Amino acid sequence: FGAGTLAGLRVVVSAGPTYEDIDPVRFIGNRSSGRMGFAVAEAAALAGAEVTLVAGPVSLPTPPGVARRIDVRSAAQMREAVLAGAAQADIYVGAAAVGDYRPLEVAPHKLKKQDGAPLALQLTENPDILKELAARSPRPFLVGFAAETRELAAYAQDKLARKGLDMIAANRVGAGLGFEAEDNALAVYWPGGGEELPRAPKRDLATRLVACIAERYRATYA
Ligand code: PMT
């Protein structure tokens, strides 16, 4: 895997969680640390790509070689930054754990306790960034992630087909893997094929994933 594999290509990587505000002091988020996406951004830069990293709220330094970093908070902001970047990109890697739902309304003031009565939050679905990109023409080569706690292969392959992706990297979450963890293990699928990337630190895994992306990209556009 030579350093020039992605040379001349523009790659957008999303990483981290999104925070969906409930009121001025509370939000709905998830356990993504951003490590996997940051490692992919670093590996893509090492492979010669011009990398734009769209980062949710994480506390990680920008990896060496990354050309541009855009910090966002909500799924709506992530969507805007990704769509803008992806318009000129050759490859998009969606490693972010984008919140599927957000509160229908953001309370302007801190919500008060209800004297023991249940508090109901109404949620509305966020737009699916990957799906939206898949519907564009032209569009970048699309790599999604899938985080599943069960039936990994079936759910991932369903996502690959349903979202119209070129590749999906599925990780089983839990047991020291996936969200927040140092290590991960991926099952990568593309239409008509796949590859297992066994448990390893996220940086090593990202290097292997980027090699796999470069190979599939070249095969698709050869
Ligand atoms: O950040 P770390 O702590 O290192 O953890 C890494 C990770 C587990 C978060 C990462 O490897 C991962 O799997 N990211 C995707 C998690 C996820 O949200 O999966 P999903 O099955 O909900 O979404 C599938 C794909 O659709 C993802 O590529 C996601 O970016 C994308 N998506 C989801 C919802 C949405 N509204 N828009 C999207 O584009």
For residue 39, report the distance from its CA to the centre of ligand 1, in Å: 14
Q: Is 145 annotated as a binding residue?
A: yes
Tell me if 99 sits within 8 A of 20, measured CB to CB.
yes
Residue ranges of domains in the chain:
10-108+121-221
Pocket-forming residues, ligand 1, beta carbon under 6 Å: 16, 32-36, 75, 94-98, 100, 126, 128-130, 144-147, 159, 171, 173, 178-180, 202
Closest Cα to atom 16 of ligand 1? 97
pLDDT in tens, the chain (222 residues): 454 599 999 999 999 999 999 999 999 999 999 999 999 999 999 999 999 999 999 999 999 999 999 999 999 999 999 999 999 999 999 999 999 999 999 999 999 998 999 999 999 999 999 999 999 999 999 999 998 888 989 999 999 999 999 999 998 787 777 888 889 999 999 999 999 999 999 999 999 999 999 999 999 987
How far CA 193 is from CA of 139, 167, 179, 188, 204, in Å, comes to: 22, 10, 26, 9, 22
For residue 118, report the distance from its CA to the centre of ligand 1, in Å: 31
Ligand 1 atom at minimal distance to the Cα of residue 132: 39
Predicted TM-score (pTM) of the model is 0.96
Mutate to test the pocket of ligand 1, among 98, 126, 158 (most ligand atoms within 8 A of CB): 98
Task: Choose among 30, 23, 21: nearest CA to 113.
Answer: 23
Q: Is 112 annotated as a binding residue?
A: no
Q: Is 166 annotated as a binding residue?
A: no
- 171 carries an active-site annotation: no
Question: In this structure, which topology does domain 10-108+121-221 adopt according to CATH?
Answer: Rossmann fold (3.40.50)
Ligand 1 atom at minimal distance to the Cα of residue 143: 28
For residue 119, report the distance from its CA to the centre of ligand 1, in Å: 28
How far CA 78 is from CA of 62, 73, 115, 195, 214, in Å, comes to: 17, 7, 36, 29, 24
Q: How far is it, in rounded angstroms, from Cα 40 to Cα 204? A: 9
